Amino acid sequence: MNEQIKLPMTVIGAGSWGTALALLLARNGNTVHLWGHDRDDLLMMQKQGVNSRYLPDFLFPENLHVKLELVEALHGVRDILIVVPSTAFHAVISRLVPLMTKKHRIVWGTKGLDAESCETLDRVAQQVLGHHVSLAVLSGPSFASEVAQGLPTAVTLASNDEAFADELVARFSNDTFRLYKSNDLMGVELCGVMKNVLAIAAGICDGLKLGANARSALLTRGMAELGRLLQAAGGDSRTLMSLAGFGDIILTCTTNQSRNRRFGLMIGAGISVAAAVEKIGQVVEGYVNASQLQRLAKKYELDMPIVNAVYRILEQHLSPKDAAAELLSRKSTGRWG
């Protein structure tokens, strides 16, 4: 085994996805240090040996160690996995700065953009940590509960460091978890943002009972919008059809395990945005992402009507029925893109 892979790995973020990835890494033989912001949750996990709040059915292996202090979690570690909401990513990266050395490498399973700048998270990491740091992002169709169960899953791993990517593949891979490498960090991250908004749109469509034909058309046209965004932002066009792109869109937009889709279903059924957020009870990333993508569409002067419709429903009180009518009445260009 590579000497670097023998070192412990830190997972920052003890929610459902962070815990699922920590379980995966530990089951693969890695020593894992798990840390999160909620000390009471950490104490409970230490005592019970399970994350009873998010994944209560999966006991921690002996090599998964819950740490109460971030400094302790980073002891003896080179590779750090960040799995926090995108709104907390900048703060977490900034908190790491005084604790990191040149040896440390960062990978994240967070999907989203910076809350203030709308920059992709790789750019945020470079701005805070410098351009010398090895970075990677893990993204694709992957519900935490299924990864925790050991059900077959495949994702995209994008990195600016080939050696780091290879070592991460070795850490994460097993008979039911596969990774496909890419060097398009920005493109992979934009896909992870767009799929959240499309999932809300798909949920609204189904909440309105517009039918399977309408949902299929909506998602196909949504992919065209994503393709235009990738091209304008300088991403790799091939990323559109990757697990991080097409794969995650299929999963998130068609399965009710998706919080974003369930959120959209409620809105389409006539529940208010505020009430839908409260009913979900967890972060709905697509709610924030809609306004961020609206800003990017203006920045790049892109026509993104589905993003615009979701944004107006969430932020400007446009009724879902009126939004659907507007989309259906748009003049057809007769072209895919």
Q: Is 209 a catalytic residue?
A: no
Identify which of 78, 107, 102, 103 has the alpha carbon closest to the alpha carbon of residue 92.
107
| 8 A C-beta contact, residue 95 and residue 70 | yes
Task: Compute CA distances 287 → 55, 113, 298, 324, 334, whole Å.
Answer: 24, 12, 18, 18, 30
SS3 131: coil
DSSP at 61: P
Query: Rounded CA gap, 93 and 81, in Å?
Result: 11
Query: Residue 198 has which token pair?
Result: 């499309």
Query: Residue 223 has which token pair?
Result: 């992919």
Q: Which helix (H) or strand (E) holds 76?
A: none
Query: Rounded CA gap, 206 and 266, in Å?
Result: 10
- With b meaning 16 or more CB within 10 Å and e meaning fewer, what string describes 295-306? ebbeeeebebeb
Query: Rounded CA gap, 239 and 191, in Å?
Result: 8
The angle formed by the CA atoms of residues 31, 112 and 270, to the nearest 5 degrees, is: 120
SS3 153: strand
Annotated catalytic residue within 111, 195, 321, 331: 195
Task: Compute CA distances 173 → 17, 47, 167, 178, 193, whole Å.
Answer: 16, 29, 10, 5, 25
Identify which of 243, 113, 127, 91 has the alpha carbon closest to the alpha carbon of residue 189.
113
Contacts of 168 (CB under 8 A, 6+ apart): 79, 107, 136, 138, 157, 159, 179
Active site amino acids? 195
